[in-house]
């Protein structure tokens, strides 16, 4: 009998969430955001530009130090850029290159959701996580209980606000999330999966190193080897335990050598936030980025507090706290900010799932009604703005968009409209079903948050996609440049950032070369912020100002266009 467990769960409460519904929800969350859009500024288009550069450069030195035109990549990573470059080298010419590189990242997001489900499922089978045994029977069966909590954990991850944008970019952040979740699932499954769990660790730990997070990989591997598994020997066969410890130790050492040999192992400890503005900004980041997982996780720690003194033995609490605590501490102590906080979300979702068997009916009803009102309101806002753009009624939303994105012309897209309409109808049906009945299933309290987050994300990526593309892409600015430049083999650039260089190459179709280069290109592009250093870089007597190209949604993001003049 598990006397310290606060979970009182009957067999009726662990009914199975229909697989078709779970698969449909995941597909509705994963696919929008990868289809039909341009690379967005800044990290997304910059990473895509690095992949384009690698795909056309066979030099090993370039592949070991990814960048563009001498500008190093923003994140010290290798594998994500390699994956994108390999795809570009093998993809047929008729496939859009920006979509092609998104495919493996889309698969990584889907695999992240699956690995999170697996991790929660294995941790929920731990004896300490099991519910109290009833005196006359009728308590939930172990496997059914673990499956219900795993469904809840997956729903909690999908509902988390911070996951949406970063998980749909082709950046090292998503690759880090995928490999970190593999490590989480591998450590969680060691007592139950003697082959699959070590394989996850063998892939996940080196993957984290090559994706720019070697320090986190070493901490995960080192703490698990030295502290987390040793007190849990009663849950592992002796041979399996020894193999796991040796495997983790060897893999951690290999990761350290790999990070050192590739110059990825760099400590970037920064001074913690000291003034009130920095502390407040960091607090706001934690609050919204991990919502709604963090209040549920805190509730879990309170209700399961009697097990917190034995975290080594209670792996269902100790392991998620380790996996979530490392990136959360990194967000405070480094400059990585929200992108490293992304790695904490699967473990926080696991802790959120453990809150489900401790909820009272009143708390579940409060979550349901708040969620229905919150996401329904945002869905209405999205629809009203879209209707205003296409009909002019009401006039104010369309006027706001015209002010924020001057020059944007809305256009109707039937596939996006149908998808948005079906998603909205499904949300209405789900909300009526959930609020009209008192279902006993454990996962019931997270169905509406996950579905609401998916609905709003899908509506944004369908109804608002043209406007978002216009505002967050460099394509409009490059189109204005094309009217000035036309077709030309190359353009010299000065003061452009990595995202701007990538946009010049992809959207403009020109080969960018540094202004100091001996290559004689007929055009020169200069960022307005770099005008002070232009005269020391080029001979201005050889250039004549031909115009200026502005980003419609950012008045300060302007490029000056110079044309080379013939020397007498």
Query: Per residue in 375-428, pLDDT tens?
Result: 999 999 999 999 999 999 999 999 999 999 999 999 999 999 999 999 999 999
pLDDT at 440 over 80: no
Q: Which two tokens stand for residue 213?
A: 């997070």
What confidence tier does 222 reach under pLDDT thresholds 50, 70, 90?
A: confident
Average pLDDT, the chain: 87
The closest of 500, 368, 563, 459 to 69, measured between CA atoms, is 500
92-115 burial, b for 16+ CB within 10 Å, e for fewer? Answer: eeeeebbebbbbbbbebbbebbeb
Tell me which of 19-33, 104-118, 271-285 is least confident: 271-285
| Residue 36 CA, distance from chain mean position | 18
What's the rounded Cα separation, in Å, for the pair 108 and 102? Answer: 10
pLDDT at 5: 80
Q: Which of 334, 307, 292, 344 is nearest to 183 (CA)?
A: 344
Contact 123, 316 (CB under 8 A): yes
**Which of 108, 109, 91 lies closest to 100 in space, CA to CA?**
91
Does the pLDDT value for residue 291 go beyond 70?
yes
- Whether the per-residue pLDDT at 101 is higher than 70: the answer is yes
β-strands 71-72, 67-68 pairing? antiparallel
If one counts every other C-beta atom within 10 angstroms of the C-beta of residue 380, the result is 11
Comparing C-alpha atoms, which of 438, 356, 367, 444 is closest to residue 6? 356
**Residue 61's pLDDT band (cuts 50, 70, 90):** confident
Can you read off the two tokens belonging to residue 479? 């189109």
Q: Which residue has the higher pLDDT, 471 or 440?
A: 471
Q: Answer whether residue 464 shows pLDDT above 70.
A: yes
Nearest to 337 by CA among 264, 275, 273: 273
Residue 476: partners with Cβ closer than 8 Å, 6 or more residues away: 407, 470, 551, 552
Q: Is the pTM of this model over 0.85?
A: yes
* Confidence (pLDDT) at 207: 92
pLDDT at 177 over 90: yes
Are 120 and 189 in contact by the 8 Å Cβ rule? The answer is no
Lowest-pLDDT range, 14-18, 38-42, 172-176?
14-18
Q: Give the per-residue pLDDT at 474.
A: 94
Task: Output helix, strand, coil percentages for the chain, rounded to the nearest 5.
Answer: 65, 5, 30
How confident is the model at residue 300, as a pLDDT?
94
pLDDT at 489 over 90: no
Residue 148 in tokens: 């219900």
* pLDDT for 441: 80
Confidence of residue 272 (pLDDT cuts 50, 70, 90): low
d(CA 206, CA 217): 8
pLDDT value at position 237? Answer: 62
d(CA 498, CA 68): 7
Please determine, for residue 507, whether its predicted confidence score (pLDDT) is greater than 70: yes
Question: Of 514, 549, 520, which Cα lies nearest the Cα of 534?
Answer: 514
Residue 171 has pLDDT above 90, yes or no: yes
Other C-beta atoms closer than 10 Å to the C-beta of 278 total 12
Give the rounded percent of residues in the chain with a pLDDT score beyond 90.
56
Asked whether the predicted pLDDT for residue 2 surpasses 60, the reply is no
Q: How far apart are CA 557 and CA 482, in angstroms?
A: 17
362: pLDDT strictly greater than 80:
no
The answer on pLDDT for 214 being more than 80 is: yes
- Tell me if 541 sits within 8 A of 501, measured CB to CB: no
Question: DSSP letter at 556?
Answer: E
Reported for 238-246, long-range contacts at CB under 8 A and 24+ positions apart, including other chains, are: 240/190, 240/191, 240/194, 243/194, 243/198, 244/190, 244/197, 244/198
Assigned token pair, 158:
């999908």
- Mean pLDDT over 547-557 rounds to 87
Distance between CA atoms of residues 368 and 374, nearest Å:
10
DSSP state letters, 32-85 = BTTBS-PPPTTHHHHHHHHHHHHHT---HHHHHS-EETTEE-SS--SHHHHHHH
pLDDT at 528 over 60: yes
pLDDT band at 87 (very low <50, low <70, confident <90, very high): very high
Q: Look at residue 274 and tell me whether its pLDDT is greater than 70.
A: no
The token duo for 234 is: 């009663």
> Could you give the CA distance from residue 139 to residue 134 in angstroms, rounded to a whole number?
6
- Is the predicted pLDDT of residue 568 greater than 90, yes or no? no
Question: Out of 154-158, 172-176, 300-304, 442-446, which region has the weakest mean confidence (pLDDT)?
Answer: 442-446
Residue 452: pLDDT band with limits 50, 70, 90: very high
Alpha-carbon distance 266 to 382, whole Å?
43
With the C-alpha atoms ordered 330, 336, 341, 346, is the resulting torsion angle positive or negative? negative
Q: What's residue 517's pLDDT?
A: 81
Which residue did the predictor score with more confidence, 478 or 257?
478
User: Residue 233: what pLDDT?
Assistant: 42
Average of per-residue pLDDT across 80-89: 95
Predicted pLDDT of residue 437: 61
Task: Report yes or no: 73 and 46 within 8 Å, Cβ to Cβ.
Answer: yes
Q: Write down the pLDDT at residue 235.
A: 54
pLDDT digit string, tens, across residues 230-262 = 444 445 566 666 766 777 778 888 878 877 776
Quote the pLDDT of residue 429: 92
Helices (H), 262-337: 276-289, 293-303, 315-333
- Model confidence band, residue 64 (pLDDT cutoffs 50, 70, 90): confident
């Amino acid at each position: 009998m598990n006397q310290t467990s606060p979970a009182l769960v009957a067999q009726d409460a662990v009914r199975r969430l229909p697989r078709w519904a779970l698969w449909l929800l995941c597909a509705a969350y994963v696919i929008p955001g990868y289809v039909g859009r341009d690379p967005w500024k800044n990290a997304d288009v910059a990473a895509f530009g690095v992949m384009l550069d690698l795909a056309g450069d066979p030099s090993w030195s370039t592949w070991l130090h990814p960048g563009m035109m001498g500008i190093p990549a923003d994140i010290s990573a290798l594998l994500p850029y390699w994956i994108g470059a390999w795809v570009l080298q093998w993809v047929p010419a008729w496939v859009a290159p920006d979509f092609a590189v998104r495919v493996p990242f889309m698969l990584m997001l889907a695999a992240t959701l699956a690995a999170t489900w697996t991790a929660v499922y294995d941790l929920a089978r731990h004896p300490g996580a099991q519910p109290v045994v009833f005196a006359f029977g009728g308590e939930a069966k172990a496997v059914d209980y673990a499956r219900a909590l795993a469904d809840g954990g997956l729903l909690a991850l999908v509902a988390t606000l911070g996951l949406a944008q970063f998980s749909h970019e082709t950046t090292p952040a998503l690759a880090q999330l995928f490999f970190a979740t593999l490590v989480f699932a591998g450590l969680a499954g060691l007592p139950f999966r003697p082959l699959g769990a070590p394989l996850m660790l063998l892939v996940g730990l080196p993957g984290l190193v090559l994706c720019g997070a070697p320090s986190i990989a070493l901490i995960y591997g080192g703490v698990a080897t030295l502290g987390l598994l040793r007190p849990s020997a009663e849950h592992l066969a002796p041979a399996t335990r020894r193999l796991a410890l040796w495997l983790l130790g060897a893999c951690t050492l290999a990761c350290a050598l790999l990070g050192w040999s590739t110059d990825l192992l760099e400590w970037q400890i920064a001074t913690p936030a000291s003034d009130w503005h920095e502390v407040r900004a960091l607090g706001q980041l934690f609050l919204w980025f991990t919502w709604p997982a963090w209040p549920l996780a805190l509730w879990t720690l309170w209700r399961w507090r009697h097990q917190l003194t034995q975290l080594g033995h209670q792996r269902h609490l100790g392991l998620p706290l380790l996996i979530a605590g490392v990136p959360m501490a990194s967000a405070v102590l480094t400059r990585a900010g929200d992108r490293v906080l992304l790695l904490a979300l699967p473990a926080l979702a696991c802790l959120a799932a453990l809150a489900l068997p401790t909820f009272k009916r009143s708390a579940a009803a409060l979550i349901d009604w708040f969620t229905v009102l919150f996401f329904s309101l945002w869905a209405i806002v999205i629809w009203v703005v879209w209707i205003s753009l296409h009909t002019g009624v009401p006039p104010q939303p369309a006027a706001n968009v015209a002010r924020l994105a001057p020059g944007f012309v809305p256009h109707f897209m039937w596939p996006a409209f149908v998808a948005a309409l079906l998603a909205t109808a499904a949300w209405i049906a789900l909300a009526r079903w959930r609020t009209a009945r008192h279902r006993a299933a454990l996962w019931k309290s997270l169905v509406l948050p996950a579905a609401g987050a998916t609905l709003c994300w899908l509506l944004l990526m369908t109804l608002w996609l043209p406007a978002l593309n216009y505002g967050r892409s460099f394509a409009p600015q490059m189109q204005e440049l094309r009217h000035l430049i036309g077709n030309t083999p190359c353009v010299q650039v000065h003061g452009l950032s990595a995202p701007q260089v990538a946009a010049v190459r992809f959207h403009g179709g020109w080969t960018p070369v540094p202004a100091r280069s001996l290559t004689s290109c007929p055009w020169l592009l200069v960022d307005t912020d770099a005008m002070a250093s232009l005269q020391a870089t080029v001979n201005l007597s050889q250039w004549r100002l031909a115009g200026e190209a502005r980003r419609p949604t950012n008045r300060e993001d302007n490029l000056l266009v110079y044309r080379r003049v013939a020397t007498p």
